[in-house]
Amino acid sequence: MMRNNLLKVFHAMGIFKYSAIPQNAGPGLNPRTDRSSCDRSSAIVRPDPCNHGTTELNTPCADYEAWVAAHPSALSSFDHMMSVAKEKRIVVFLDYDGTLSPIVDDPESAFMSDKMRLAVGKVSKYFPTAIISGRSRDKVHQFVQLNDVFYAGSHGMDIMAPPRQQKSCDGKYQTRAVDEKGNEAIIFQPAQEFLPEILEIFNELEEETRSIGGVTIEDNRFCVSVHFRRAQEEDYSIIEQKVLSVLSKHSRFHLTRGRKVMEIRPSIKWNKGHALEYLLETLGFADLSDVFPLYIGDDRSDEDAFKVICKRGQGFPIIVSSKPKDTRASYSLRDPSEVLSFLLRLARWRRNSSTSKPVT
């Protein structure tokens, strides 16, 4: 009651948009208590001249508290969350940058801590665990250095998974391989035909931005990222013009935006949400009614995965943010340090639980 009154007060003042929690969250769920369904709230935003979109304001503490009322802390809500999930088969999905590692100026220095690596390793012992990142699959594996997790790079356009029979994906995008443990695996790459043009785009972007300080062009194999976090703010519009100029020469590609990064990607119907569905299928869980995906991410691209969980009607989409933002997530964590605490607690809960159902 107090939470709802607080939200209505902010709504009346015109500084926070309050939307009712949806009632049709799926069979057997009460979204007002279980929160494994997905409600949406709107953050206070202002135009970003380089982004042509929105960015969060440095809002007062009260605004963040109101946002957290709609997206409760996954740490504070942990016991309740596990009471909902204890009879389910939990599958863990994680973003990398901003989730397992802090956002840094140099994308090549986005290292995860040893403590985080240990936490992810512990979680992967108890639950199937996958990392879905915009980075190349090889780069993510280089950062994470764990062989008991599944990796999906390039926003899910490059996945290494177990060799199971597929029902929904074209076999021509799959090749057989051997993983780091010597086991047979399948590499799924639905954007293979774009590779030559992606190399052209990478070279063109490097040439176009060579004279602009603080710009890093990253080859993520199936997409190209333009990082400008270290650039001067007065150069943002020039960087954008350069990127759009290159994009105009490649009609089969489109532009997406993140935090101080622009990405050119192939225009195919594939994103992190599709990657989540693909991994559930290859792991043999697609048709099981008790599978409970848990996804933690901080970026706009993670919203596609949150959307899939919402559509399934059960699971936990968790946003990592210290500021109010529009999201489909049901729960929140402030930063990677809270992600670390959550993962350690999840592993400890599973170890100590005699009633939760392990995924086999």
Kindly state whether residues 21 and 136 are assigned to the same domain. Answer: yes
Element at 265 (helix H, strand E): strand 261-266
| Helix, strand or coil, per DSSP, at residue 349 | helix
pTM of the full predicted structure?
0.80
Give me the mean pLDDT over the 279-293 stretch: 91
Q: Please report, for the domain that includes residue 45, its CATH number.
A: 3.40.50.1000
Considering the domain architecture, whether residues 239 and 114 belong to the same structural domain is answered as no
User: Do 172 and 309 belong to one domain?
Assistant: yes
In terms of domains, do 25 and 135 share one? yes
Residues 207 and 296 in one domain: no
Write the pLDDT tens digit of every residue in 62-108.
Answer: 788 999 999 999 999 999 999 999 889 999 999 999 999 999 988 89
Which of 266, 297, 323 is at the close of a domain?
266
Per-residue pLDDT tens over the stretch 5-24: 444 434 443 333 333 333 33
d(Cα 10, Cα 8) in Å, to the nearest integer? Answer: 5
Give the end of a domain, one of 240, 266, 292. 266
Contact criterion met (CB below 8 Å) for 216 and 106: yes
Tell me, what's the pLDDT at 185? 83
Tell me, yes or no, whether 80 and 100 share the same domain: yes
My answer on whether 97 and 237 are in the same domain is no
CA-to-CA dists, residue 185 to 175, 188, 221, 278, 281, angstroms:
9, 10, 19, 14, 14
Q: Do 252 and 311 fall into the same domain?
A: no
The fraction of the chain above a pLDDT of 90, given in percent, is: 69
Tens of pLDDT, residue by residue over 317-327, are 999 999 999 99
Examine the domain organization and report whether 324 and 288 are in the same domain.
Answer: yes
In three-state secondary structure terms, 240 is helix
| 92 and 174 fall within a common domain | yes
Beta carbons of 235 and 203 less than 8 angstroms apart? no
pLDDT per residue as tens digits for the range 149-165: 999 999 999 999 887 65
Examine the fold and report which residue of 266, 285, 307 is the final residue of a domain before the chain moves on: 266
Distance, CA of 292 to CA of 33 (rounded, Å): 17
Query: Are 7 and 131 contained in the same domain?
Result: yes
Parent domain of 85:
1-190+273-360
Give the domain CATH number at 218.
3.30.70.1020
Q: What is the domain count for the chain?
A: 2
Percent of the chain predicted with pLDDT > 70: 79
What is the amino acid identity at position 187? Answer: I
Band of pLDDT at residue 167, cut at 50, 70 and 90: low
How far apart are the C-alpha atoms of 198 and 253, rounded to whole Å? 9
Residues 185 and 217 in one domain: no
User: In whole numbers, what is the pLDDT of the chain averaged over residues?
Assistant: 83
Residue 190 has pLDDT above 70, yes or no: yes
